[in-house]
Amino acid sequence: MASAREIVITGVGVVSPIGVGSRAFWASLREGRSGVRRFDLFNGSDLPAPLGAEVADFDPKTHVRPRKSLKVMSRDIQLAFAAADFACTQALLDNGAVDPDRLGIVFGADMIACELPELRNAFAGCMVGGEFDFRRWGEQARAEMSPLWMLK
């Protein structure tokens, strides 16, 4: 029989549509606020319902360190970094204070993908006669996309 193991939650980091940081998140929960609203981060007017639960009040420049790392982070990774940083701060963890093998993160996300504007020009360059030509993708993508795109 396996021995029982204790798990201790020492910090919680939240970056969500109803709050950035655990205080804002819990306040929204107590007040019954919803995170669903009209899209602000992109034009959703062509969607059947331009509504969703986006994290609209997040500025990565205030939450990601070092700032130069923003160049190689997708928005999803920026959100995850901030949430992990919030949790470590709440747990009063300093860098190197705890063996990383003793730490864990529960990360909830739908899909980690790139920002669509990053693909727009490459995609448009592959359109031939109103159809997407897959044979053009490699050459077109290299010409139109940032070399750092795959790192994101």
Residues ≥6 apart with Cβ < 8 Å to 60: 70, 73, 75, 78, 82
Question: Quick check: helix, strand or coil at residue 99?
Answer: coil
Residues ≥6 apart with Cβ < 8 Å to 105: 84, 87
Which token pair is 26?
A: 């819990």
The total of other beta-carbon atoms located within 10 Å of residue 13's CB is 21
User: pLDDT at position 7, please?
Assistant: 79
User: pLDDT at position 16, please?
Assistant: 94
User: pLDDT at position 57, please?
Assistant: 85
- Cα separations in angstroms, 83 against 25, 27, 78, 80: 12, 17, 9, 5
User: pLDDT at position 2, please?
Assistant: 65
- Which CATH number is 1-113 given? 3.40.47.10
Note the pTM of the prediction, 2 decimals.
Answer: 0.67
User: pLDDT at position 113, please?
Assistant: 63
Weakly modelled stretches of the chain, pLDDT under 50:
none
Q: How far apart are CA 84 and CA 78, in angstroms?
A: 10
User: pLDDT at position 148, please?
Assistant: 67
The dihedral of CA 74, 152, 149, 109: what is its sign? negative
Give the residue extent of every domain in the chain: 1-113, 115-152
